[in-house]
Structure 1
Amino acid sequence: MGFFTWQSFYPVQASDDWRYHVLHRDVAKAASLAPMLDGSLMVSQELNKGLGSIVRIHPDGKREVVVGNLSKPDGLVPTQGGWAFSQEVGDAPVSLLKDGSVTALFKGENVQGLWDDGEYLYAIEDRKEGGRILRYGWSDQALTVLRDQLNEGESITRCTDGRLLYTEKKKGVVRELTEDGSDPVVLSNLNKPTFLMCDERGLWINEDSTHRARLLLIDKQGHQQTILSFLKAPQSIVRTAKGTYLLAEGGRNRILELVPASL
């Protein structure tokens, strides 16, 4: 019992080239993050049974519930002048929040990760078996099933080199979504890989583990570095306009800001 307590309270450790601090506390089950141009932050709070919400945290720290009464709101991406969001429960719809109104776009089953390129909205289902990758066309509202029979798919993202990557947490792998359907494994032997994000530094991967989870960075040469360790159920990571990174640590109900040593 003491060992698990130690794991829960052991402080997060950063690699030598990075430092971090707690930016926001008491953000219940913080999941996805979306920074705003005015310095505020949109956050999905992944509580179940209608207790979840999407909250806007203003630069002065004031919090505003933008959408309430949600069940496990998870994915959250800016698009079409608003935000698309998912609910990782049952057949809850992926919806669009725009101008204060919520519009259901399409239904999935336990949809978690979202990715949007302006033309299409991609969604991935977190199911033990039979999970799918869905693609929704903004121009014609057509919904296409790109993949099925996935095992705990959690995140999907496009990298700067054009590759579309997704995770299968149960298998501990990251795959590339290819036109021929072969979907080669890009990375394997990972510990519950969940959220993915790409930028010029490389591929960022969070591990959805309750104890001793890590934030990994795979650079463009394929070298793997542990940026943060001893995290508890981290979720999304996003980059800010000032060159720092925000990470939702859902297991500790908080948001961390990660700062490179060069800043």
Structure 2
Amino acid sequence: MIEWRDEGPLIAVRKHGETSVIIEVFTAEHGRHAGVVRGGTSRKVSASLQPGTQIEITWKARLEDHLGSITVEPQRSRAAQVMQDRVALAGLNAVCAILSFSLPEREPHPALYARTVALLDLLGQGDVWPLAYLQWEMALLDELGFGLDLSACAVTGTNADLCFVSPRTGRAVSRENAGPWVDRLLPLSPALIGRDITDENILQGLKTTGHFFENHLAPSLGDRKFPASRARLLDALNRQP
């Protein structure tokens, strides 16, 4: 019998049989990991199996490659942070869905894990959360091999007047060197490089990162559509006063 303990935010739950559920947890040391929670549909257990809840788990299986069973000990709920906040709720759903969609199973990502827990703990803090979320998306793309290189122009190597991003390579392009390709390039929002942080620039930055999710990351994972919860988050951010 193989057994280990770890913790992390719960990112997905689906029914399994009559009384059990399969959960996915983004754990600190074991990456995105799934397992069966026996009796997970009961009122007592299901109350602690809400997306975003920080849980400690004990995973057991006869062999390493088995699905395994999980027992859960809740550490802290994040429900209060999102209950009355439409943007926070949309953000929580988007983060969980994107992690479940994107992360390879059972592959540790300690730096991304730490950033994710910090991001989830900021839910409901509308003055800082949108920028933190944009930076999290950039970190996720980088972690999975689709990172943006915005440090210098892809054509000249200089860092002056960088205004665009190549939709193919993710590298920055200066205004002077955009040339006839300008209509095909993505905007380099100042928020992507930590400057001029406004709601408008954050949304523009999210449109650029969204291109790499939709056109680079998602195709690399097969014939799967990127989670619609991200589009709902952008809509919520657009609508906030």
Whether TM-score is above 0.5 comes out as: no
Rg (Cα) greater in structure: 2
Q: By percentage of residues, which structure has more strand?
A: 1
- The structure carrying a bigger helix percent of its residues is 2
Q: Structure 1-normalised TM-score?
A: 0.29
TM-score by length of 2: 0.31
